[in-house]
Amino acid sequence: ETGVTQTPRHLVMGMTNKKSLKCEQHLGHNAMYWYKQSAKKPLELMFVYNFKEQTENNSVPSRFSPECPNSSHLFLHLHTLQPEDSALYLCASSLAGGRNEQFFGPGTRLTVL
Amino acid sequence: AQRVTQPEKLLSVFKGAPVELKCNYSYSGSPELFWYVQYSRQRLQLLLRHISRESIKGFTADLNKGETSFHLKKPFAQEEDSAMYYCALRLSDGNQFYFGTGTSLTVIP
């Protein structure tokens, strides 16, 4: 699959579990983003990486831990989540610089029991 | 505080009728505004951005700094325009993006 891919597409986990979300882009981009989309709330930017360096962290709880090993891959490590963390998590990528279009992945639907 | 406001969660228009999706923003700097669209079972994708001043699929949007608005307009709606539309704001001082809550547009045949 070309573009931005995310795995898994669906994830159900307990509050004591540790899991990771993966994002991969094949577009030659050098900026990657994690967003959270909850019901009835705006899409919320969580983290931004430019050239593998984290440049934004929007007061996200430490139970969410991002990792960007290279400019093509982005992970979101999850541990001791809460039920209110259940949401759609979207990954996006772009060329660095805000004037460049963001390309979104299909998202991972996360349910925390 | 909400940076981007889309007052209409649901909007229905008849095919061939004009459509306007409202977006207001709150930012005192130089904003960059975008409209993203999500068709059924597809991923979020860029529709247009204000700096391009382009018309995409018949849609246009003009940035009105006085009214802090970036409304999306199309003179004649088509059935294939039915989708979820999100207005987004990028701050000029970094990589911060803010999205509105979205407007679900339904074009009635």
pLDDT tens for B1-11 read: 669 999 999 99
Q: Do A45 and B49 touch (CB under 8 A)?
A: no
In angstroms, the separation between the Cα of residue A60 and the nearest Cα of chain B is 14
Cβ contact B45–A103 (<8 Å): yes
Distance from CA of B72 to the nearest CA of A (A): 18
Q: A98 φ, ψ to 5°?
A: -65, -15
pLDDT at position B18 is 97
Q: In Å, how far are A30, A33, A82, B43, B97 from B90, measured between CA atoms?
A: 18, 13, 29, 20, 4
* Tens digits of residue pLDDT in B16-68: 999 999 999 998 888 889 999 999 989 999 999 888 878 889 999 989 989 99
Q: For residue range A16-49, what is the model confidence (pLDDT) as tens digits?
A: 889 999 999 999 999 999 999 998 788 899 999 9
Confidence bin at A59 (pLDDT 50/70/90): confident
pLDDT digits (tens, 9 = 90+) for A100-109: 788 999 999 9
pLDDT on residue A98: 59
Residues of chain B in contact with residue A45, where contact means CB-CB under 8 angstroms, are: 96-98
> In degrees, to the nearest 5, what angle opens at C-alpha A102 toward C-alphas B95 and B36?
105
Does B94 score more than 80 pLDDT? Answer: no
* pLDDT of A51: 83
Mark yes or no for CB contact B96/A41 under 8 Å.
no
Which residue numbers of B have CB closer than 8 Å to A's CBs? 2, 4, 32, 43-46, 49, 51, 86, 88, 90, 92, 94-102
